[in-house]
Structure 1
Amino acid sequence: MKEIDFSLKAKMYDLVSELTSDEQELMNEAIIARNNAYAPYSKFKVGAALLLDNGKIITGNNQENAAYPSGMCAERVAIWSAGALYPNMVVKKIAITAASSEVEVKNPVGPCGACRQALYEYEFNQKEPIEIIFMGETGKIIKVSSLASLLPFSFDSSYL
């Protein structure tokens, strides 16, 4: 038996203003998307904004449905919109933010497991990392250099 260790390096920021100007713009677009989310049941709104290699920003937000779990997460709405609009695009970065009308979300909210897998598919296929920047409504911001770092032992098309 051999024990292996995986570690994650991340950067933590106190304020959005500490990010680069393009990252600030991306997070601001994610906040706008978050504010437009349709979350009447959970009251938990999420916004995502992708920066493509052509400079375009594509946004998405969570869309709920009374027939749970028929809704969709913001990250998958954004990545699939980008894939539909720009099928040969390369995703450089994604910014994610979440807020609730029930409680203040002070901690960074990363993508759920299903979104990590969906985003990883694009990262794997494009053979370039996708930088992930995520925050709550307020508080710290976390940045990681690759989606793969958030999904150790990932599953991809090489297994098929």
Structure 2
Amino acid sequence: MKENKKVSHINTLELIIAENLDERQAKLIELALRATENAHAPYSNFRVGAAVILADGQTFWANNQENICYPAGICAERVLLTYTHANFPHQKPLVIAIAAKKADNTGLATVTPCGLCRQTISEYEMKFGSQIEVLMLRADGSVLKAQGIDQLLPNKLENLNG
């Protein structure tokens, strides 16, 4: 009888303090934060913004859009990625930044992509054959950086092969 093997996979995200962001990262975080202002979040008041830079250098931003018929709303990341792919289908996304503001308007909220958004990012990584850097603004102004969605989907099947 074969013995079972234990598989472990540890991902470490990079923590970047605000003043150490490079120019591109800082611009995307700023755009994501600005995008929160126009979020349609009348039910949760939790406003999320996302910004992306495409391979050709274009940048876009979007925000969450809630709907009283839950779960018909859509997250900022999916609004952004589906818009850019619908309009620029041959431009791969290189970096996506995500920012959120607390429902009570007292400041920033730490946010990571939800499961649906993580899967959506994974789909675009598979389509274009390259990782998408994910920048997540934290409540203290620092940024968590994932080199690709695998760092946020640690048990993805490709990670367990070999």
TM-score higher than 0.5: yes
Please give the alpha-carbon distance, in whole angstroms, between the structure 1 residues aligned to 2:91 and 2:53. 10
RMSD between aligned residues: 1.8
The match for 1:10 among 9, 13, 25 is 13
Among 71, 96, 99, the residue aligned to 2:98: 96
Shift of 1:102: 1.8
Note if contact 1:105-1:136 (Cα within 8 Å) is conserved in structure 2: no
Q: Where in structure 2 are the equivalents of 1:39-118 lying within 5 Å?
A: 39-102=41-104, 104=106, 108-118=110-120
Work out the CA distance in 2 between the residues paired with 1:7 and 1:73: 27
SS, match of residue 80 in structure 1 = helix
Identity of aligned residues (%): 35
Aligned with residue 125 of structure 2, among 117, 123, 126: 123
- Displacement of 1:154 in angstroms is 3.2
Cα 1:137/1:99, change in 2 over 3 Å: farther
Please state whether the residue corresponding to 1:4 is helix, strand or coil.
coil
How much does 1:13 deviate? 2.0
After TM superposition, give the deviation of residue 89 of structure 1 in Å.
1.0
Give secondary structure in 1 for the equivalent of 2:99.
strand
Unmatched segments (≥5 aa) in structure 1: none
Displacement of 1:126 in angstroms is 0.7
Distance 1:9 1:136 in 2: 16
Q: Which amino acid aligns with 1:77?
A: V
Q: In the alignment, is the contact (CA less than 8 A) between 1:12 and 1:142 conserved in 2?
A: yes
Kept after mapping to 1: 8 A contact 2:44/2:103: no
**Offset of 1:137 from its aligned partner?**
4.7
Q: Give TM-score, length-normalised by structure 1.
A: 0.89
Deviation by residue 1:59-81 (Cα, 9 ceiling, x = unmatched): 11000011111100000000001
Q: Which has the larger radius of gyration?
A: 2
Runs of 4+ in 1 over 6 A off after TM superposition: none
Residue ranges of structure 2 left out of the alignment (5+ in a row):
none
Q: Is the 8 A contact 1:108 1:142 kept in 2?
A: no
| Post-superposition offset of 1:153 | 3.4
TM-score normalized by structure 2?
Answer: 0.88
